[in-house]
Each structure stands twice: as structure tokens, then as C-alpha cells.
Amino acid sequence: MSDCVGSWRRTLLVNPDGSRDTTTDVRWLQGITAFVDSRGFGGWLNQRADVFEWSHFVNVQASEAHPDAAVMRWDDNTLIETGVYTDYIEHWDRDLSAAASPCWALTLCSAEGNDALLLRVGNLFGWVRRDTRAEVSIGGIDGAEWVITDSAPSRPIGRSLRPTLHAEYLDVNDVDDDGTPTVRRWRIKDSEGSVKL
């Protein structure tokens, strides 16, 4: 699994009916176990032998009938994913311009009982929240600015999270349902890696 850490772009999808897609821009940000996928889901990656399973913490798409599991293998520098429960193939190329460290993730919860996940891999981040406004976002880091560049839904694109880390909490910029800017506080439930903003 450690070979998967980094930023990936899909270069090929072969669907069960044999149709091929080489044009849809799909990004996959993989941390130690936490991941975010620009198609609108995020969670944790687990491995059993050569089978990898993406456990979805948040999925803004329709629920699938089978687990998201695949066999992975290398073909030169391309990571090839072959579905276990669904007959598909995906080819992934690592973004060699993106650093793989620092690499960490925080699992969070709000006072209202909602959940979130913040993942950092180099100068990229993934932000996943599960509440009345499920969101799965990927963005870039430039100093204190953590600007969302890809998101499902698209509403948060361009917003900066500007996370602030406290001993047991993380504050992030957010907007209320009516669009009013606010700072939202999340309690840290768990972490992986050495967390440093």
C-alpha cells in the first residue's frame, strides 16, 4: 500500500461493456490509508494480499451494490486496477510533480455529531465531510491558503479552508447554508502520520 501514496490521474477506464474513457479528468489522492477521489468519495484503503478495498467514508454518488475492491498491479510506471466484483479496468499514472510528504490524515467530528476527514499529501489536500452538505474536495496548499480546486458538489471550488490546528481541535473556514462565511470547529477523533500544517 505504501507504493500508492501520492497524487494520481486516471488515464484509462474500460467499462464492463467494453467502452473506453480516456478523457474524463479523475484525480485520486492517496495517503497512508486515507484517500480522496475527485469523483465524489473518500475514506480509507485496505489491502488483503493483492486485493485493495476502498472503504467509503463519504460518497456523494449513488451507493454501489458491491464493495469498491480491485486487484492492483504495475505495468512499468502505470498502476493497473482490475475490479473484483465489477468487470472494469482503470489505469492510473502518478503525478511526478507532486511531493508525497508530508503525509497525514485527521478524522474529525463536530459538536453536532457530523464527521469529516482531512488528508494532506505534499502540497495537496483532500477534505471530506459527512453532514447535511456532504462534500468531497481536493485542493492545493500555498502557505496558510488551502484552496479547493476540485469538488463534488462544485460549490466549494475556490474556497480556502485555512485550517488551524489546536491540541484537540481543528478550525476550518466554511460557509453556512445561506452563504455566510464562518469558522467551523471539529474535534480530532483520530490521526495517522505526523500531523503538521
Q: Dump pLDDT digits (tens) for 157-197.
A: 999 999 999 999 999 999 888 889 999 999 999 999 999 88
| pLDDT exceeds cutoff 80 at 62 | no
- Could you give all domains of the chain from N- to C-terminal order, each with its CATH number? 2-94 (2.40.128.280), 103-191 (2.40.128)
- Residue 116: partners with Cβ closer than 8 Å, 6 or more residues away: 107, 108, 109, 110, 127, 128, 129, 130, 131, 186
Closest C-alpha to 186, from 104, 107, 105, 103: 107
Asked if residues 125 and 196 have their Cβ atoms less than 8 Å apart, the reply is no
- Tell me what the pLDDT averaged over the chain comes to: 94
pLDDT digit string, tens, across residues 104-120 = 999 999 999 999 999 99
Q: Is the pLDDT of residue 32 over 90?
A: yes
What is the pTM assigned to this prediction?
0.94
Nearest to 91 by CA among 65, 73, 111: 73
